[in-house]
């Protein structure tokens, strides 16, 4: 059985006190959709400061919050945006692409047989030699040792846990992504993200 607590990543929101000394490359903007929800949780929707400022001048985003750090040009001084919101709503597809990354995210980056987060690959629950297909409903994340142990058998034949994988919706993957906050979070992002994370003192 999978144990989420084994792989949840610890992170803390950082105070704005250090903003004036923060390097520009370490000052990304959190990008919100027009409904003020993050475009993505994992990976978190972040733009480099240059991209965010360009979008502001193209009138594609609204500035929601800023860092204390400023950039200067001959004609203006401007605080670097820390949170921006798109002016036009981006509709997400109902179902995500069937990729290795999305498969691992659905399965919380852990083997579905033993729970290990190490040496991950993927496994056909019903082996291809028995007619198993490469689909969301037949592929799971597995560590290399469990994959080798199972071989070309079904989980029942190999006396391993029975797993019933599903085709996730984009919403389900975003919910899974909330368990993996990045190592850096700015305090101005707090109101727009839904992780239970403490503010650094």
Which secondary structure element, helix H or strand E, spans residue 70, and what is its range? strand 61-72
**Would 121 be classed as within a structural domain?**
yes
Residue 29, pLDDT score: 96
Residue 174 within any structural domain of the chain: no
Q: Identify whether residues 89 and 33 lie together within a single domain.
A: yes
40 in a structural domain: yes
Q: Where is average pLDDT lowest: 1-5, 75-79, 109-113, 143-147?
A: 1-5
Same domain for 104 and 89:
no
Average pLDDT for the chain: 87
Q: Would the pTM count as exceeding 0.85? A: no
CA distance 65 to 32: 11
178 band by pLDDT with thresholds 50, 70 and 90: confident
My answer on whether 74 and 18 are in the same domain is: yes
Instruction: Give yes or no: residues 134 and 87 share one domain.
Output: no
The parent domain of residue 56 ranges over 9-93+180-189
Q: Look at residues 116, 118, 111, 128 and name the one whose alpha carbon lies nearest to residue 165.
A: 111
31-73, pLDDT tens digit by residue?
Answer: 999 999 999 988 899 999 999 999 999 999 999 999 988 888 8
Question: Is the pLDDT confidence value at 6 over 60?
Answer: no
Phi, psi of 21 (to 5 degrees): -105, 0
- Considering the domain architecture, whether residues 64 and 19 belong to the same structural domain is answered as yes
Collapsed DSSP state (helix, strand, coil) of residue 90: coil
Of the CA atoms within 13 Å of residue 30, those in its CB half-sphere come to 26
What would the two tokens of residue 124 be? 């056909």
105-114 mean pLDDT: 97
Average pLDDT over residues 119-137: 96
61 and 27 co-located in one domain: yes
With tokens 């990729």, the residue in question is 99
């Amino acid at each position: 059985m999978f144990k989420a607590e084994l792989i949840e990543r610890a992170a803390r929101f950082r105070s704005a006190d250090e903003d004036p000394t923060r390097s520009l490359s370490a000052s990304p903007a959190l990008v919100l959709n027009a409904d003020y929800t993050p475009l993505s949780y994992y990976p978190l929707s972040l733009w480099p400061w240059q991209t965010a400022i360009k979008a502001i001048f193209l009138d594609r985003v609204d500035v929601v919050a800023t860092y204390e750090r400023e950039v200067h040009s001959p004609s203006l001084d401007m605080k670097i945006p820390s949170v921006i919101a798109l002016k036009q709503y981006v509709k997400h597809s109902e179902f995500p692409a069937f990729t290795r990354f999305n498969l691992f995210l659905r399965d919380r980056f852990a083997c579905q047989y033993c729970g290990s987060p190490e040496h991950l690959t993927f496994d056909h629950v019903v082996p291809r030699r028995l007619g198993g297909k490469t689909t969301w409903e037949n592929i799971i994340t597995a560590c290399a040792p469990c994959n080798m142990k199972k071989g070309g058998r079904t989980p029942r034949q190999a006396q391993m846990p029975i797993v019933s994988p599903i085709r996730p919706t984009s919403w389900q993957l975003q919910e899974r992504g909330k368990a993996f906050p990045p190592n850096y979070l700015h305090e101005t992002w707090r109101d727009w993200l839904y992780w239970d994370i403490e503010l650094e003192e």
